[in-house]
Structure 1
Amino acid sequence: MDSYRFGAGRYIQENNALDFCGEEIKRYGNKAYVIGGNTAIAVTEKRLCSSFEKYGLAYYMERFSGYPSVQKIEGLKAVVKEKDCNVLVGVGGGRIMDLAKAAAFGLGIPIVAIPTQAATCAAYSPLSVLYTPEGHSDNYIHFEYEVNAIIVDNQVMLTQSPRLLASGILDGMAKYIEIATLHPKVLDGNTSIARNSAFYMAKYTYDVLGQKGEKAVSDLKTGVWTKDLHDVIYVNIALTGIVSALMQGKGQTALGHAFNNALHRDFLEYIKKWLHGEGVALGLLAQLVYNGEDDRVEELKRLMKEFDMPCSLAEIGINTSPEINEKLFQRLCTYPFMTHDKEHEKLLKKAIESVGE
């Protein structure tokens, strides 16, 4: 069955959205299990609890700061059942979203996402990225239905760091660079309308983030809400998630994301202090070389430097060598995007070497 899960049943992004989140969550259940990161709960707890009480929503709240591992997912499922909760609410960043989604879908109960940052599209995408308890990349879980609701409070978004927003901008821009690798095949007469739509939406996303991204990060630094900031957050979370859904999480040469995952598999001690979008951006530099678009590398580096992102493996502490490059090559060859012929393997080796220094 060629089915699509477009990410979210309802998407709400406005000022003071937290103030009526209790009413929204009660659409799906009358007893909520709320799990969030320490910082996320700190900036939302007072308003969350006030709204829950106003609308008569019973709840239990947990703070969690680890990784979305199989072990934690099973533990969370057990405690949600023990507390007899019938809706799960994730509050925070990508790790919390992936954890909450996986547990909710495993239990077969509704999931409401309340992101406190726009560093990824994790709140929107109907999949979870899993890690080991130590933080190594592990696996993906694709879900059969969407997140029930996403509640984005603009005032909460003002509390995130500019670095987190910049990370989301590069993560969002990655979709076009990754999908464009298939060009012109993505645009031929035999390609599905969904993939053609994904291509054009990814291009639009890329253009909006390129035009408004730096201004939005600058606005966030001043702590003043602007339309550019609103638009970039919408694109980072919602549109990027829709593009991923249209591609059904496959059919693209996602070297940017694969590169970041490979670093989390084999070089965790170096990459763990960098955000998801920062690791993806490093992979995008390699992706452009793989795509034969070497002339665009400096343009991307300029934006990354503006956002104080690392532009080489050396800048994250990895002193490359033939052995290091071969290790990355062998790991990347295990990902589904890789075409196993001499031409593409040569391109991949060139791409890896290009981000060494």
Structure 2
Amino acid sequence: MMNGWIISAAAEIFWREENKMAEARSLEEIKLDYAWKFGCGRYIQQREALETLPEEIKRLGDKPLIIAGPRAWEATEGRIEKALREAGIEYVLSVYPDQNTYEKAREHASQAVSSGCDVIVGVGGGRIMDQAKASAYFAGEMTKARSGHFPVVQVPTSIATCAAFAPLSVMYTQEGASLGSLRHNFEVNAIVVDLDVIVKEPARYVASGILDGMAKMVEMQNGHDNITIEEFDVGLVTAFTLAKYTMETYRKRGVQAVEDVRAGKLTKEVEDITYLNIAVAGVISGCSKGFGQTALGHECYELIRTHFTQEAKDFIHGEIVAVGQSMQLSFNGQEDQIPALREMMNSFDMPLTLKDIGIEPTEENVETLYQDLYHSPFVKDCPEEAEKLRKAMKWLCE
């Protein structure tokens, strides 16, 4: 067992070897990088942003390895190829449809080194963003790069997560079970967000990113009424302040943004939510060193990906995180906020319960989740917290 995740002994040994900052049973035992990393060197968000990609690559190197998801590569409609060709930039392309695994990250790193590439470009959703960062890390390790990594340029084609920005890679087995996070000691160098691409993505991804962003404030509280400078680290208080602002903005503008994307309309609401989902959410993660902004909701996501990999395979990150948010609110003593949360989720046609994501809420299944949540760093080992967690978990089932 590892941070509540049950995996094979071999996989656990491999994960612990790769991830020097593995999570522990208590928050006090968790060892994070002593440096804050706030996001990326350059963030570009505009229409026709893909045409700026050659310039961003040239700032960092000469020949990129492009790692792209198949649907994401199609969504760029040949514009990246055209821009690179016109700029005279030679590149290597890997269209990769599968999980973000350690094995594939090492393969991509080896491919980059052997083909003379010196920049990694990710084009796609969250898993490709994480694969690009992990590949850059291993390429740096292979070449003993002074920086410790190859430069990274991210081209997110979805705003479902802040993975383009966050200084970590969420890693999986080939089957899709979670192996936790590989935490990086570097930021990405540039992020290029093309709004003409974003407005054409399924509205489901926009909604997912909104709920994932809203989860940050709720999970930071994790059993507390508030996060104050007198009690908490200044970085976490800063992250919480930003998360509170984003929560207010999501509530005011989120529903309209989703409706606009459904209609294929690029509006100010879509632009604003894009910025919040990627850039601001990434800064929040950086302010909390990539850990303090998550708690029970994200832990529930990791457990579902591991214990119920096949049952929940058709659901994306933010949808599963959102299922855990009613539980998190209850654990925080904020059950009065659950109706408004679920009203918004219903307006987005999002799942609300375990059953909605293909998991039968049997006594055995719920107990499996309970035991691992209770033994996670986010619940104190005492009868009061145990009872509070059991009460909160009813929201996973109703």
Same fold, judged at TM 0.5 (above): yes
1:3 is the counterpart of 2:44: no
For residues 185 and 216 of structure 1, do their structure 2 counterparts lie closer, same or farther at Cα, with a shift above 3 Å needed? closer
For residues 167 and 7 of structure 1, do their structure 2 counterparts lie closer, same or farther at Cα, with a shift above 3 Å needed? same
RMSD across aligned positions (CA)? 1.4
1:231 to 251, 272, 281: 272
In the TM superposition, what is the alpha-carbon distance from 1:319 to its structure 2 partner?
2.4
Q: 1:1-357 alignment to 2 at 5 Å?
A: 2-44=34-76, 46-107=78-139, 108-181=149-222, 183=224, 186-252=227-293, 254-357=295-398
Name segments (4+ residues, structure 1) moved above 3 Å: 182-185
Structure having greater relative contact order (Cα 8 Å, sep ≥ 6): 2
For residues 253 and 235 of structure 1, do their structure 2 counterparts lie closer, same or farther at Cα, with a shift above 3 Å needed? closer
- Report if aligned partners of 1:98, 1:129 keep a CA contact under 8 Å in 2: yes
In the TM superposition, what is the alpha-carbon distance from 1:151 to its structure 2 partner?
0.2
* SS at structure 2 position matched to 1:165: helix
- Report if aligned partners of 2:162, 2:279 keep a CA contact under 8 Å in 1: yes
CA–CA distance in structure 1, aligned partners of residues 359 and 158 of structure 2: 29
In the TM superposition, what is the alpha-carbon distance from 1:71 to its structure 2 partner?
1.1
CA–CA distance in structure 2, aligned partners of residues 202 and 42 of structure 1: 33
* SS at structure 1 position matched to 2:315: coil
In the TM superposition, what is the alpha-carbon distance from 1:252 to its structure 2 partner?
5.0
TM-score between both structures, scaled by the size of structure 1:
0.97
Identity fraction in percent: 40
Can you give the 5+ residue segments of structure 2 that lack an aligned partner in the other structure?
1-32, 140-148
* SS at structure 1 position matched to 2:370: helix
Post-superposition Cα deviations, 1:23-52, rounded to whole Å, max 9, x if no partner, equal 111111100000111111112151101111
Can you give the 5+ residue segments of structure 1 that lack an aligned partner in the other structure?
none
CA–CA distance in structure 1, aligned partners of residues 360 and 226 of structure 2: 37
Post-superposition Cα deviations, 1:77-118, rounded to whole Å, max 9, x if no partner, equal 111111110000000000000111111022221000000010
- Report if aligned partners of 2:129, 2:164 keep a CA contact under 8 Å in 1: yes
CA–CA distance in structure 1, aligned partners of residues 252 and 328 of structure 2: 21
Question: What is the one-letter code of the residue matched to 1:52?
Answer: L
By percentage of residues, which structure has more helix? 1
CA–CA distance in structure 1, aligned partners of residues 184 and 223 of structure 2: 25
* SS at structure 2 position matched to 1:174: helix
TM-score between both structures, scaled by the size of structure 2:
0.87
